Amino acid sequence: MSKIVGIIGSGMIGSQVARLAISAGFNVVICNTRGPESLADLVAELGSKAEAAVFDEVVQATNLLVLAVPFAAYSNLSAEKLAGKILIDTLNYYPERDGVMAEVHTDKIATSELVQNHLSKSLVVRAINNMDFVRLLSRARPAGDKERSALPVASNDAEAKKVVIEFLDAIGYDAVDMGSLSDSWRSEPTMPVYVNPYWGQDTVYESGPRDVQSFMTASGRVVDKNEVSELLSKAVRHDKMFGLLGNFAVEKS
Ligand SMILES: NC(=O)c1ccc[n+]([C@@H]2O[C@H](COP(=O)([O-])OP(=O)(O)OC[C@H]3O[C@@H](n4cnc5c(N)ncnc54)[C@H](OP(=O)(O)O)[C@@H]3O)[C@@H](O)[C@H]2O)c1
Q: H helices within the chain, ranges in order?
A: 12-23, 40-46, 55-61, 95-98, 111-118, 133-138, 158-171, 196-199, 212-217, 225-233
CA–centroid distance, 77 to ligand 1, in Å, is 13
pLDDT digits (tens, 9 = 90+) for 155-176: 999 999 999 999 999 999 999 9
Residue 198 near residue 221, CB atoms below 8 Å: yes
In total, the chain counts a number of residues equal to 253
- The finding on whether 245 has its CB within 6 A of some atom of ligand 1 is no
CA–centroid distance, 92 to ligand 1, in Å, is 10
Q: Is 186 exposed, middle or buried (0-12, 13-18, 19+ CB in 10 A)?
A: buried
pLDDT digits (tens, 9 = 90+) for 211-227: 777 788 889 999 999 99
Distance between CA atoms of residues 68 and 127, nearest Å: 11
What is the average per-residue pLDDT within 87-112?
A: 90
What is the average per-residue pLDDT within 88-93?
A: 96
Sketch the domain layout of the chain as residue ranges: 70-233
Fold of 70-233: Rossmann fold (3.40.50)
Mutate to test the pocket of ligand 1, among 7, 12, 210, 215 (most ligand atoms within 8 A of CB): 12
Instruction: Name the packing angle between helices 158-171 and 12-23 (round to 10°).
Output: 80
| Predicted TM-score (pTM) of this structure | 0.94
- The finding on whether 70 has its CB within 6 A of some atom of ligand 1 is yes
Q: Which atom of ligand 1 is nearest to the CA of 77?
A: 31
Higher per-residue confidence, 107 vs 57: 57
